[in-house]
A and B are shown apart, each in its own frame.
Chain A
């Protein structure tokens, strides 16, 4: 082998087979496993032991920061930077500050969700070894893949290959780094 191996990848033609395979691969003890599919197949990520809760936190924290930051800017403008007495009303007339703070909450929370998703997914990443996999261009079209990475402690090229074939994969191939 001229190139180091990144993973062994098994190809399926049906999302249900992918889901079954994911459950079995995890049960077999593999942990550095990733499934690839053209659309989200519910249950696969959970079967492989993934957790996506961090994105919720970036969204929530960004929203809180946006809301409080918005109120702070408004209060600063209205009470410190340019205090203006309008009919003796309080300088910080907070009910009238709600719409802008509300919009800023949503704006920042949206960026928190979108950038959090991209950040925790490690995107943008123009190239990744998995793109070397045979037939992988169909992972975004109509084929379903499951890849066991070579860094997995249980990874053994022959044993893993035989195991993936036993799952009913259409094809199992080596992905070079």
Chain B
């Protein structure tokens, strides 16, 4: 038996027992009255925007991708920007669920479930863009090596094909990981639910899980292996996404810096999205005992650290374009800063270089309103980063005769807003039908916190003094 770790900070606040944690997590799903007006507003707005996306896609399939702002020098527009943006957002979920698990960071337990859900939904949004950009999404299976009479095989030397495999593997493995984590929790819902329809659905999903110790042993073994597999996967996925650019010869894209800097940017944007969701949701569902200010503080610190890496990447890009002595590289940097999209570059520096510096201050990290606003800047900044990288290089390549300008159309905007709607719709739908917090891992965490010999039922923890502000009295009836 492994020794119980000493936790420096209490990751569960208030007085909790196994039963109270269990009830609190399960009741969000089982008690349909726990969903209030904010839930309904988010869900419905998401649903409406999803309908908008449906209309845009319908028109796109009818007219072709010419309805977007993409043009001859700028073959890639908002579609690829949004694709990279969404994929990046998804990466925080895998970081929390896999990398923090391998590093034995107990604070992941209360946020991993919805961060993983966020990964899945973000990848679902991301996947739409390259699929629709092909123009003929119903022929997407041509990208896979299947036996056919067309005498056609995919080009395995193309980063775009690597992307197909990376993204589809990432989506699949994330789904498997998520589903595996859900099995014991769904079994708990199955045993608690009184509604026969719920019982049947949860019973089918739980696959007869009975919590046997030999099952748990294999389960934990499989879970840690999946974490070990997801860790190199998540790093490879965004590296391969960056190869889409880095393997080409275009100034501003042909940079060996891209893979690490894309991965850091992905984690940075992803944590901003986790916080954007966690801050309101923990208040609406009164989950402040489980997602404590300590969690929020640490997430903000991760955001600051990755933000600094990203900013370092910008500095490196600037330095190397000058140091290379290559006239195309130098001019590309000049166009980025002072060209037609200069406003975007300086907005980007503001969002990703200046605004995150506020996170150095503990008072700002624990101020939920300020943190929420900073997260929006980060999301915007990461979107602008892709905009700057993609649009400037495409519209300012080697020959001035092939220069151009990119302007989005309402269909670009509709598609982007639509995926935001899809994401919101799926996320809030998930909150309603599945446990948003990993039930069994929270109970296990409580077990490690109360320690041997203290008996059960006592998890009296003083709230963190420096980070109080809420907490006391949040405990449930137990």
Interface residues of A (CB under 8 A from B): 13-16, 19, 22, 34-46, 48, 50, 52, 55-56, 59, 63, 73-74, 77-78, 81-82, 86, 93, 96-97, 99-100, 102-104, 106-107, 109-111, 113-114, 116-118, 120-121, 123-128, 130-131, 137-142
Contacts and interface: CB of A to CB of B under 8 A. Distances in A.
Given A93-B157, A103-B236, A141-B188, 18 more contacts: A38-B18, A38-B188, A40-B213, A40-B216, A43-B1, A44-B216, A52-B221, A55-B225, A74-B145, A78-B156, A104-B169, A106-B236, A113-B229, A114-B222, A117-B222, A138-B191, A140-B187, A140-B192
A133 to B, nearest CB: 10
B456 A128 contact: no
A126 B156 contact: no
B226 A52 contact: no
Contacts of A59: 222, 225, 229
Interface residues of B, number: 67
B214 A82 contact: no
B273 interface: no
A69 to B, nearest CB: 11
Nearest to B205: A124
A37 to B, nearest CB: 6
Given A13-B456, A55-B218, A110-B229, A130 B213 contact: no
Interface of A is mostly: helix
A52 B184 contact: no
Interface of B: 1-2, 17-19, 22, 145, 151-154, 156-157, 159, 161-162, 165-166, 169, 172-173, 176-177, 179-180, 184, 187-188, 190-192, 203-204, 207-222, 225-226, 229-230, 232-233, 236, 240, 243, 440-441, 443-444, 447, 452-453, 455-456
Nearest to B161: A100
B218 A106 contact: no
B89 to A, nearest CB: 20
A52 B213 contact: no
Contacts of B208: 123-128
B173 A107 contact: yes
A46 B220 CA distance: 13
A114 B447 contact: no
Residue among B157, B210, B444 with the most chain A CB within 10 A? B210
